[in-house]
Amino acid sequence: EVQLVESGGGLVQPGGSLRLSCAASGFTYDEYAIGWFRQAPGKEREGVSAIQPRYKFTYYSDSVKGRFTISTDSAKNTVYLEMNSLKTEDTAVYFCATVREVGRPLANPLSPYGYDYWGQGTQVTVSS
């Protein structure tokens, strides 16, 4: 059974940093692509970043490019999202999700509709 568990959320001041973790189980690490998504109250879920570990392809939304970094630890079967220079508009529930690797760059890596399994989410609040 595929399971994803996010952690690392919390309250941080504008300009601060957080590192989110997505611990994965139930599948072989490099056989899946993993994405990070977020959803703020009253807004649609949006893609933030994604990675295809087998090929080391990474993807970022324009809103986080240069501030967020996605990475993996194969030994721990964990994907991280390092978030720096946080802004109030980054406030949201952050989810990780996974889809089976397709052997080529994902056509829409930041679309939530392309992912099959989801974690429960972790709250990130950026506020002074």
Taking the mean position of all CA atoms in its chain, how far away is CA 16? Answer: 18
CB atoms within 10 A of CB 54: 14
**d(C-alpha 90, C-alpha 40), whole Å:** 8
Beta strands in the chain (DSSP E): 3-7, 10-12, 18-25, 32-39, 46-52, 57-60, 68-73, 78-83, 92-100, 117-118, 122-126
CB atoms within 10 A of CB 94: 23
- What per-residue confidence (pLDDT) applies to 58? 97
- What per-residue confidence (pLDDT) applies to 74? 87
- What per-residue confidence (pLDDT) applies to 65? 98
| Contact (Cβ atoms closer than 8 angstroms) between residue 100 and residue 45 | no
- Along the chain (128 residues), what's the average pLDDT of each consecutive run of 10 residues? 95 98 87 95 96 94 98 92 98 96 90 95 97
